[in-house]
Amino acid sequence: MSTHLLPLLAPLALLLAAFAGFRDPGRRPASVPRAAEAAALTAVIVALLSAGLLALAGAGTSPLIGAHGIGLSVRLDAVSATMLVLVSFVGWTVVRYTATYLDGEDRQGAFTGWLCATLASVLLLVQAGNLTHFVMAWIATSLFLHRLLLFYPDRPTARRAARKKAVTARAGDAALIGAAILLAVGYRTSDIATIAEVARAGQAVLQGSALAVCTAGLIALAALLKSAQFPTHGWVTEVMETPTPVSALLHAGVINGGGFLLIRFADPMLLAPGVLSVL
């Protein structure tokens, strides 16, 4: 088994903690806060080990867990290793703070579960090695965050913020799916590293074509919507109706996903200078 699959242990640990939260969703769940913090700390350790692996073995992509370009694969390079360390560390801090902040709240276990699931999806996003993996993690992040935004469903402002976020998120998802399809067709692969390499070499089918502009435009649109840039920023100003850990998690990696998208697909973006100028 490829050593580059090591980063997958970080989201796996958090998903197990999320499952524990869903099994005991009520007030003061006996072991859920401890399990969540242990999982978050495990994610930090895995991220640091992944950075060490990168330094020793160099950048690389794991074999695909799937078939026909559809499935999971891990891309370990300077960008993903940096994001893994940053997101996991801030995530650990947020999970630790949540245990005290929500102590005695109804559905504390459920909140902790959705928090761990959201954090796991962000970690899956930053280590994605192929387009399918990237898109699935991107969508999962939005869906799990929606549950956190509705933690107080009886508050009208919380419901309004969640509705606004849902609309912008679905539009961003559609833009990213469209971009992924065009990238897969234009580069004849779903591997992100291969796409970047071909784009840098100037050998892409998309180069200098209207298809390049459309692809870059969809990537830029998805990034703008994910990062809540003007004029789609309204929902961000209303998340104060959710528990404070949600705001912290947003800045730990959720809304920064748009910036990560642009960094990860910077080489195809360079084939459409006009889109970059607008962006």
Domain parsing of the chain, residue ranges: 3-278
Query: What span, in angstroms and rounded, lies between the C-alpha atoms of 256 and 117?
Result: 17
pLDDT at 150: 84
pLDDT at 228: 74
Q: Mind listing the pLDDT tens digit of every residue in the chain (279 residues)?
A: 578 889 999 999 999 999 998 888 878 787 889 999 999 999 999 999 999 999 998 888 888 888 887 889 999 999 999 999 999 999 999 999 988 888 888 888 899 999 999 999 999 999 999 999 999 999 999 899 888 888 888 888 778 878 888 888 899 999 999 999 999 988 888 999 999 988 887 655 555 578 888 999 999 999 998 887 878 777 777 777 778 888 777 766 677 888 999 999 999 998 888 888 888
Angle at 125 between CA 160 and CA 149, to 5 degrees: 20
Q: Within a 13 Å sphere around the CA of 211, how many CA atoms are in the beta-carbon half?
A: 12
What CA–CA distances, in Å, run from 72 to 124, 142, 201, 270?
Answer: 9, 19, 26, 26
pLDDT at 48: 97
Angle at 123 between CA 121 and CA 125, to 5 degrees: 70
Q: Please, which residues have CB within 8 angstroms of residue 176's CB and are 6 or more apart in sequence?
A: 134, 135, 138, 218, 219, 222, 261
Q: Which residue has the tokens 């940053």?
A: 86
**Phi, psi (deg, nearest 5) at residue 115:** -65, -45
pLDDT at 155: 81
pLDDT at 203: 58
* Helix, strand or coil, per DSSP, at residue 191: strand
pLDDT at 171: 92
pLDDT at 31: 86
pTM: predicted TM-score of the whole model, two decimal places: 0.92
